[in-house]
Structure formats: structure tokens, C-alpha cells
Chains A and B, each alone.
Chain A
Amino acid sequence: MDIYIPTPLRAYTGQQATVSVEADTVDAALAQLTTAHPELKRHLFNDDGRLRAFVNLYLNDEDVRYLPEKQGTKTTQSDALSIIPSIAGGGGEARYSGRC
């Protein structure tokens, strides 16, 4: 199966945008990915081994967090796993005072 690597993490995959692995679960796919590219590990997982909160994993069009078996979900070679860090932010609390 193909794992799609987001732009900021390609520095740790030799600039590869897609990494192919043979794995039968999401967890196994991630394990293969981080074995082949060890520097990715600290960017994807916390010290306790859990996926970082801002890292989203999508198996095809499904958010892995909401799949019944989560990262234990079975996969096939035709599946695609996307790693997608979250995008959010916003201005402060101060409000524009308007023109005179």
C-alpha cells in the first residue's frame, strides 16, 4: 500500500512523497514506514508511542481515529494511507477599533 507523506516530513523520507509498504494493518504500515525512515518516528509519535494529537491519519477517505479498530484496522495493498498534520490558527482576541 502507498503512504502519502506531507511536504514537511519529506525531509525524513529522502524527499519521497509516497512510500510503499506491504502491511496488513495501519499499525504495521506505520511500523514499516518508521523502520525504513527512523527519523520520522519522533515527528509522528509522542514519547509514549502514541500518535501526536496534530497528526491525522486517513485510510483512503476515513479518519483512522474514528474507525472501530483504529490503528489496528486491516489494510490491503490497494489502500492508501495519508499522513496529514492539522491546519488551524487565528488572530488574537483584540478587535479593530474602527476608523475615526
Chain B
Amino acid sequence: MLRLSQLVMNSLRLHGEETYPHECCGVLLGRLSDGESSVQSAVRAGNTRIDSAHNRYSIAPAELIRIQREARVHGLDIVGFYHSHPDHPARWSATDLAEAHWLGCSYVITAVEGGRAAQTNSFRLVGTTEDDKQFIDEPVEVAVPEELRP
């Protein structure tokens, strides 16, 4: 289960619209316990794959180091990542799996169709090694802001 606020969900989807037709990417900070991730914030990152930004993304390790350092200050961990698929379904690709190495973390994908965010799905990378890793569909729970609750 991936839990996040409507604000965080809106933020990562908007990022995908802003970078369209290129892929956006970012880091999800929060807490991970008993297989559930509670996301506190989504931090935008630059896509270093300027050679093929419409269908590839990569986050510079130096930027990850910086984000991880800031997360530590706030008592948070990296619990997942997000990216967009411009004009492509919100399903993980063979490239997504091959390049995924954060076992136990969530990988959130938003399809952006013609510049508009469409479906957003989350997949958790499970397994114990590079040899047996796989993505499984992960339920997403979006918390409704208190002022909008009935």
C-alpha cells in the first residue's frame, strides 16, 4: 500500500504535464513500515537523459545524495520514486524493471496523454536480489484533505 496526500498526488502529476513531451522524475520521501509506504513529500529531480527524454529518465546520483541528506534532516527516508510516461500507458516497461534497484520501494508512473496527466499507478519492487526482482501492482490510497471530507 502506498499512502499519499492529494497534494502530493497532484504535485507529481502536474510535474509530468509540465515536462511533457519529456519524462519527469522525482523522489518520494516518507516512512516505510510493514510493507506500507507513507509518503510525506514528492521532491522533483532533473531528468539527465536529455538524449532520449521522451522515453527515458535518470536521476543524477549527486542529486539523490542531496535529496537523501535533506530527508535525513527531517527524519524521512526515500520510500519510492515517480516518473511519467508521455503518450504511453502507466505500466512499467522492461526498461523500468531492468533499471530498478531499490527493492521494497514504490515506483509510481503517470501516463501523460497529449500533455494531460491520465492514469497514475504504483508498483512495488519486490524480491531479494537482482535475479528475482519483480514489480507487483500496489494499491494507492490518496488521503482527502480534511476540509473536503463530508
Contacts and interface: CB of A to CB of B under 8 A. Distances in A.
A76 interface: no
Given A7-B104, A95-B87, A96-B114, A90 B55 contact: yes
A89 B93 contact: yes
Give the interface SS of chain B, mostly helix, strand, loop or mixed. mixed
Interface string A61-91: 1010000000000000000001011111111
Contacts of A82: 65, 68
Interface of B: 23, 25, 27, 32, 49, 52, 55-59, 61-62, 64-65, 68, 72, 77-79, 81, 83, 85-89, 92-105, 107, 113-114, 129-130
B101 A85 contact: yes
Interface in A5-22: 6-8, 11, 17
A54 interface: yes
